[in-house]
Amino acid sequence: MIELLRGDPEFERAVVEGSFNALLPAERPEIVVRPRSETEAVAAVRAVAAAGQRIAVRSGGHSWVAASVRDGGVLIDLGALDGIGLDTERMTATVGPGVRGARLSAALEEAGLAFPVGHCGDPGVGGFLLGGGLGVNWGHWRPACFSIERMRVVTADGELRTASPTENPDLFWLARGSGPGFPGVVTEFELALRPLPPCIRVETLSYPLDRLGEVTRWLTDASQDLPTNVELSLVTAGSPDPAHPFVVGVAATVFAGSVAEADAALAPLHGAPAAHRGRPADPLAHTAPADVAFSALHEAVDATYPRGARYLADTFWTDLDLHDATAPLAALLERAPSKRSYVLAGMPANGAGAGLVTPGEAAYGMHDRTLLIVYTIWEDAADDAANRAWLDEVADALLPTATGHFLSEADLRHRPDRVPGSFAPADRARVEHLRGHYDPDHLFHGFPALVL
Ligand SMILES: Cc1cc2nc3c(=O)[nH]c(=O)nc-3n(C[C@H](O)[C@H](O)[C@H](O)COP(=O)(O)OP(=O)(O)OC[C@H]3O[C@@H](n4cnc5c(N)ncnc54)[C@H](O)[C@@H]3O)c2cc1C
């Protein structure tokens, strides 16, 4: 097992490995260990427990709040556990937590298979799945954690356990949604796969930001007729065009069996049926539906997250429709200190998102009609305060109508209320009870601490 101590020339790089965010906490562990096998991961947990130290866990290191960078103790970096095994007959995959979404998509595509991999190619499946996993086609395939069949977990007592619907079901329940609060080390996931959709197409449009209301009204209306295999996303962001410094972009991705099925699925976005107000005229840009490979879906998304920039983000679920949910934003977006900052809005299952998750099914139970994800992205440390203030202002505007948060991208370090707010109210006590049950001595650091 590779071990690096504070003071080692490689130590600092090992601590921030995987993070693309230059705005990192000052906390540092004493030791970073990199197990190369499950056996070494078990040994690491036992050794840290015996030494009375605490553990932080990392798979891909992509958490923007750097949840794995904690003060003292040992950081267990599982990046080397990155095996992918496919069973094409059973349609399952056995994957290590360090596997990146992009690599998984490519392996699945080659085998004619699919999975709700993350929209971004960089996150490790470890953190992605534990946080719920809002992957591609999630309105149809559901959040990815519901496609986990089984996992192997080293718990705080140093035992290697299987968690599944029939073995340690409480641990399985907790692992599907407790994200950075999960008290264990997952060494392997078994995932249920789908056949690769033969036809994946993407259509995009953009409009000036001052037409946000018109666009969201159209999408809210049209989405009522869109099948769940059409994934709509709306992004408001800065643009290099001086005539339109801020724009609203729309992307509709369809996962279909054929071109004819894809065309029929997208039809509600094209025509102007009497019941709808129709698509707003004169977009700034429009690309007609075009084929995209499953393994390339993440590329456009990755391009919006430059490595080495400074990031703050937050998330808001609401039971409002897209139009009403985004209404408070227009004026705020134009005042964003960085034109790279943006708001991403989605309506899983095209408005039926609240029903995608059965209450009590897993710790991932905070789900609603519309999800807004705000990212502030800038370069210069001198602009930190202005960007922090802007995100706070956006949060203040969205909080009155928010029903909860999405744990994996919420502002956990600055807003401690985001942790309970990321679980369904009925599940909060169970999450805390099970975390205490599996880790009574707080061996694992758990949810990121507040750092002011
Ligand atoms: C730019 C960007 C885009 C994103 N896009 C999406 C998206 O499309 N859908 C989505 O659902 N999420 C998305 N996320 C959120 C992302 O899924 C989470 O940040 C996730 O935690 C990243 O996984 P990781 O393994 O790389 O993270 P890490 O930083 O390695 O892990 C985060 C935390 O999860 C826990 N953890 C990780 N692995 C293990 C393990 N094996 N055992 C026990 N605990 C573990 C640890 O507490 C760790 O500190 C995005 C995040 C960013 C920054």
333-338 long-range CB contacts below 8 Å, 24 or more apart?
333/209, 333/236, 333/246, 334/209, 334/245, 334/246, 335/390, 336/238, 336/246, 336/376, 336/390, 337/376, 337/378, 337/383, 337/386, 337/387, 337/390, 338/238, 338/376, 338/377, 338/378, 338/383, 338/387
CA of 302 to the centre of ligand 1 (A): 15
Tokens read off for 313: 């983000």
Which three-class secondary structure state does DSSP give residue 216? Answer: helix
The predicted structure's pLDDT at residue 305: 84
Atom of ligand 1 nearest to the CA of 125: 25
CA of 243 to the centre of ligand 1 (A): 37
The Cα 68–Cα 295 span in angstroms is 28
For residues 410-436, average pLDDT: 96
Pocket mutation for ligand 1, best pick of 408, 419, 442 (most atoms within 8 Å of C-beta): 408
Identify the CATH number of the domain in which residue 186 sits.
Answer: 3.30.465.10
In a domain, 450, yes or no: no
Same domain, 212 and 107: no
- Our measurement of the distance from residue 213's CA atom to the centroid of its chain's CA atoms, rounded to an integer in Å, reads 26
Mind listing the pLDDT tens digit for each residue in 2-29?
899 998 999 999 998 878 899 999 999 9
Q: Is the pLDDT of residue 290 over 80?
A: yes
CA of 279 to the centre of ligand 1 (A): 36
The predicted structure's pLDDT at residue 240: 87
The predicted structure's pLDDT at residue 308: 87
Q: Which of 235, 228, 196, 190 is nearest to 212 (CA)?
A: 235
Pocket of ligand 1 (CB under 6 A): 56-64, 67-68, 78, 97, 118-120, 123-124, 126-128, 130-134, 179-180, 182, 184-186, 305, 408-409
How far CA 92 is from CA of 88, 345, 395, in Å, comes to: 7, 31, 40
Q: Is the pLDDT of residue 1 over 80?
A: no
Same domain, 282 and 413: yes
Pocket mutation for ligand 1, best pick of 190, 305, 366, 409 (most atoms within 8 Å of C-beta): 409
CA of 382 to the centre of ligand 1 (A): 28
The Cα 257–Cα 196 span in angstroms is 9
Q: Which of 92, 97, 85, 111 is nearest to 34 (CA)?
A: 97
For residues 82-95, average pLDDT: 98
Which three-class secondary structure state does DSSP give residue 35? Answer: coil
Q: Is the pLDDT of residue 275 over 60?
A: no
In a domain, 55, yes or no: yes
In a domain, 184, yes or no: yes
Same domain, 237 and 336: yes
Same domain, 208 and 172: no
Across the chain, mean pLDDT equals 94
The predicted structure's pLDDT at residue 330: 82
Atom of ligand 1 nearest to the CA of 313: 53
Mind listing the pLDDT tens digit for each residue in 116-145?
999 999 999 999 999 999 999 999 999 999
CA of 209 to the centre of ligand 1 (A): 31
The predicted structure's pLDDT at residue 37: 98
Pocket mutation for ligand 1, best pick of 17, 128, 304, 364 (most atoms within 8 Å of C-beta): 128
What is the β-pairing status of strands 74-77 and 55-58? parallel
Mind listing the pLDDT tens digit for each residue in 323-382?
999 999 988 988 999 999 999 999 999 989 888 999 999 999 999 999 999 999 999 999
The predicted structure's pLDDT at residue 300: 86
In a domain, 444, yes or no: no
CA of 218 to the centre of ligand 1 (A): 33
Taken in order 58, 61, 67, 70, the sign of the CA dihedral is: positive
CA of 61 to the centre of ligand 1 (A): 7
User: Phi, psi at residue 3, to the nearest 5°?
Assistant: -125, 135
CA of 315 to the centre of ligand 1 (A): 15
Sequence-ordered list of residues with C-beta below 8 angstroms from that of 331, at least 6 positions apart, any chain: none
Atom of ligand 1 nearest to the CA of 133: 11
- What's the domain count of the chain? 2
Same domain, 91 and 107: yes
For residues 40-56, average pLDDT: 97
For residues 46-61, average pLDDT: 97
Which three-class secondary structure state does DSSP give residue 203? Answer: strand
In a domain, 108, yes or no: yes
Beta bridge partner(s), residue 74: 31, 55
The predicted structure's pLDDT at residue 276: 58
Q: Which of 195, 215, 239 is the last residue of a domain?
A: 195
Residue type, 62: H
Residue identifier of the C-alpha nearest atom 36 of ligand 1: 127
The predicted structure's pLDDT at residue 272: 62
Q: Is the pLDDT of residue 238 over 60?
A: yes
Residue identifier of the C-alpha nearest atom 35 of ligand 1: 180
Atom of ligand 1 nearest to the CA of 126: 38
Where on the phi/psi map is residue 72: left (φ > 0), alpha (ψ -120 to 50), or beta? left
Same domain, 183 and 262: no
Q: What domain range is 129 assigned to?
A: 1-195
The predicted structure's pLDDT at residue 278: 84
Residue identifier of the C-alpha nearest atom 23 of ligand 1: 127
Provide the H-helix boundaries in 230-382: 259-270, 297-302, 322-326, 330-334
Atom of ligand 1 nearest to the CA of 180: 47
For residues 110-114, average pLDDT: 98
Q: Which of 195, 210, 237 is the last residue of a domain?
A: 195
Q: Which of 34, 44, 31 is nearest to 4 (CA)?
A: 31
Cβ–Cβ < 8 Å for 193, 93:
yes
Cβ–Cβ < 8 Å for 108, 84:
no
What band does 452 get if pLDDT is binned at 50, 70 and 90? very low
